[in-house]
Chains A and B, each alone.
Chain A
Amino acid sequence: MDEYRVLIVDDEEELVTTIAERLQIRGIQAQTATDGETALKMIEANPPQFVVLDIMMPGMGGIEVLQRMIAQNLKIPVILLTGYGSTEQGMEGMKLGAFDYLMKPCDLNNLIGKIQEAVKNL
């Protein structure tokens, strides 16, 4: 899975860095960002094959990042991470064009399955 480059975005720094490390053990290149603004800059500068976006973040949330990606015609599959009370936003995100959404804490194998599924369809 060396060809995959994934960007994981969540304001919980320990969470994203650990997920990234676990993905790297499995041969997936993973970068991290802890806010929407930084994530967008990273996506624009060097688009990854896949983006994992937390919906609830201080400042620019996951839905807004997704909207800006769509506005800039950045066709990158996005998985949204939802918490309690944001499942509806996950569904709203799918209507906007997100590939899928997962409830936090999500199972890593489940996330990898989604990444493989999305990248296969590219």
Chain B
Amino acid sequence: MREMNEKEIAFIGKITAGVTHEVNNVLASIREISGLMTDILSITDETSFPRKEKFQTSLQKIQNQVQRGVKLTSQLNKFSHLSDNNKTDVDVNEIIEHLIFLTERFTRIKNIALQIQPIDKSFTIITNPLLLQMAVFNCIAYLLNNMVNGGEISICPGKKGSECSVSIICKGELLDKTSIFKDSSSSEELLSVQSIMESLDGVYELDESNTAIIIIVPGNK
């Protein structure tokens, strides 16, 4: 597959940002219309509206789904703006939490829990946020492909001198324990991580004993 250039990524980001804005307006309208129905029901006599309670419960479910939609579009909008800056201040814990929210669906399908275990409290580095998320995502994808259903992947961001390290640790059962890191050089995901690390002046390491992939990036790139 051909790699995308910055202009193409910016184009996707811009269109996604615009559409999430529109979807948000749709959600706002659904929220108010279902809210109006709830208002009307609340001033309607029980005897003149059969199964009123069932309608009220259903309207509450609509409101809950709207809330879910608002959260998803809000996070997708945030993601669409990651390509706005090639080099910016990045709160590492925050950007990992954002990635976890966006990738939850991939891990849920395999019934694998994805969680952040920050080593350090909030810390900031200067880097490319999109590439950092992409690198971590590819590490997650590599572990997911090599894990059986169930288990957990922990992501541990922390400071390492002037650098930032992010350990992506498999805490579940592997499909084939002997080959996960032996055949890694042919993995599309890890080749992508390698290429991203070159762009960020970083490196990645495979920690066989802890079944982890560690990304190390400079704090000021």
CB within 8 Å of B: which residues of A?
Answer: 12, 14-15, 18-19, 21-22, 25, 56, 83-85, 104-105, 108
Contacts and interface: CB of A to CB of B under 8 A. Distances in A.
Contacts of B35: 18, 22, 108
A14 B73 CA distance: 20
Nearest to A104: B28
B95 to A, nearest CB: 17
B77 A104 contact: no
Nearest to B20: A84
B186 to A, nearest CB: 40
Interface in B6-60: 17, 20-21, 24-25, 27-29, 31-33, 35-36, 39-40, 43
Contacts of A21: 36
25 contacts: A12-B28, A14-B29, A14-B32, A15-B28, A18-B29, A18-B36, A21-B36, A25-B36, A25-B39, A25-B40, A25-B43, A84-B17, A84-B21, A84-B73, A84-B74, A85-B17, A85-B21, A85-B81, A105-B24, A105-B28, A105-B32, A105-B66, A105-B70, A108-B32, A108-B35
Interface of B: 17, 20-21, 24-25, 27-29, 31-33, 35-36, 39-40, 43, 66, 70, 73-74, 77-78, 81
A22 B77 CA distance: 29
Nearest to B28: A105
A40 B104 CA distance: 46
B29 A12 contact: yes
A106 B104 CA distance: 26
Contacts of B32: 14-15, 18-19, 22, 105, 108
A25 B81 CA distance: 39
Nearest to A11: B25
A93 to B, nearest CB: 18
A108 B33 CA distance: 12
A22 to B, nearest CB: 5
A108 B78 CA distance: 25
Contacts of B39: 22, 25
Interface centre among B17, B33, B77 (most CB of A within 10 A): B33
Nearest to B30: A105
Among all A-B residue pairs, the 8 with the closest Cβ atoms: A105-B28, A84-B77, A18-B32, A15-B29, A105-B31, A14-B29, A25-B39, A12-B25
B205 to A, nearest CB: 37
B25 A104 contact: yes
Contacts of B70: 105
A108 B63 CA distance: 13
A55 B35 CA distance: 23
B77 A85 contact: yes
